[in-house]
Amino acid sequence: MSGMTTRPDRGGDLPPRPPAVPDIPAQPGPEAAAAGPPPAAATAPGADDPAAGRTPEESPAADPAADAVAEPAPRPDRAQYGVVAFLALVGGLVIFDATTRIGRAINTADPIGPKPVPILLGVLLLVIAVIYAVDVARGGAGEPEAGEDVDLTVPVDWRTVLLLIGAFLVNAVLIDRLGWVISGTILFWGSAYALGNRHYVRNLLIAVALSLITFYTFAIGLGVDLPAGVLQGIL
């Protein structure tokens, strides 16, 4: 019979076997491609990063004790003790002057007298000096001066400072001889010149007006007569 294979028990050869077909993995469909790649396995917090999973309170950088150890303690500014000594000295002088030079009340309408107010001011100055000294000893310091129109790196303009001091000294020397109106005019005009204003005539007119206004304000409003000097009888 044609098309028949011989059997091995009859002395024939074994029939040839078909070649093995390799397994083909299943291809993803359109739905899987649209969904994107599968998510990567998330690592547990704290597995690789030792700082992961810590709260801000547990973080070493947020430890206030560590910051306190790292930063050195502030040193007291010894120059501030000069201000403390000045306040204490002024307070002591005010109290001494009030208790030795100021007399008692001579008017029955003023039973307290003039002593309590300067004594109170002197005591307050002493209290402020003590509080200030304690603050300086603990390392307290004032904030540095800062301003939008102030350059802290520029040195002091000693020319301007000396001109202002000179204007005040000239006023102090001439006020009794020439009178307040003339010495005050020199003071106001010299201060404007020291500060850089070069409108000489306008500054002179303003200075004269200010001197006259202050002279009559003290005389009429406050009852205090400023020295008239050479203008006595004219003003």
Distances (CA, A) of 231 to 88, 183, 212: 43, 12, 12
Residue 170 above 70 pLDDT?
A: yes
Confidence of residue 117 (pLDDT cuts 50, 70, 90): confident
Work out the percent of the chain whose per-residue pLDDT is above 90: 34
Model pLDDT, residue 91: 92
State the pLDDT at residue 162.
Answer: 94
Give the tens place of pLDDT for each residue, 59-96: 555 555 555 455 556 666 777 888 899 999 999 999 98
Token representation of residue 15? 């029939």
57 CB-near residues (< 8 Å, 6+ apart): none
Q: 157 vs 34, which has greater pLDDT?
A: 157
Is the pLDDT score of 1 beyond 50?
A: no
The pLDDT tens digits of the residues spanning 18-62 come to 666 666 665 665 555 555 555 555 454 544 555 555 554 555 555
> What angle do the packed helices 80-100 and 116-137 form, to 10 degrees?
160
The pTM of this model reads 0.43
The pLDDT of residue 74 is 61
**pLDDT of 233:** 83
Predicted confidence band of residue 185 (pLDDT cuts 50, 70, 90):
very high
Residue by residue, DSSP assigns 138-184 as TT--PPPP--TT--TTSPP-HHHHHHHHHHHHHHHHHHHHH-HHHHH
